[in-house]
Amino acid sequence: MKILDAPITVAELRTMAENVFGSMVKAVVDVRREILAVDADMHADLESLLLDDGSDQQDLWGINLHPDLPTQDTVEFDSMINVRPSQGNRSRGVDDPETRQRIVEIVLKWMI
């Protein structure tokens, strides 16, 4: 479990995926700080790591990364931490298209 401080390769993500879920890595994105935490059993653990590091709850979104899929399918929006009726997000996904796009842009910035 770590907050990225340098870009991560697809090969590194593949290794993380193989060690836990097989083909997927859990991640949490801070859309304000444009940072990414990866590699935990639960999104909530990554969320806590980022909160301890100074992130604000409303800026954090849980995703799954699929390093073996084509770039446009790498990011999967599915996490219990995304259920936030007070922010207008009533699903495990990310309902706002602008926020989804922002998350994808941040993820692609960190992946090499």
Q: For residue 70, what are the domain limits?
A: 2-110
3-state secondary structure of 82: helix
Q: How many domains would you assign to the chain? A: 1
Instruction: For 49-98, write each residue's pLDDT tens digit.
Output: 999 999 999 999 999 999 999 988 999 999 999 999 999 999 999 999 99
pLDDT digits (tens, 9 = 90+) for 4-36: 999 999 999 999 999 888 899 999 999 999 999
The predicted model scores a pTM of 0.96
Buried b (16+ CB within 10 A) or exposed e, 12-45: bbeebbeeeeeebbbbbbbbebebbbbbbeebee
* Phi, then psi, of 27 in degrees rounded to 5: -145, 160
Token readout for 56 is 């604000």
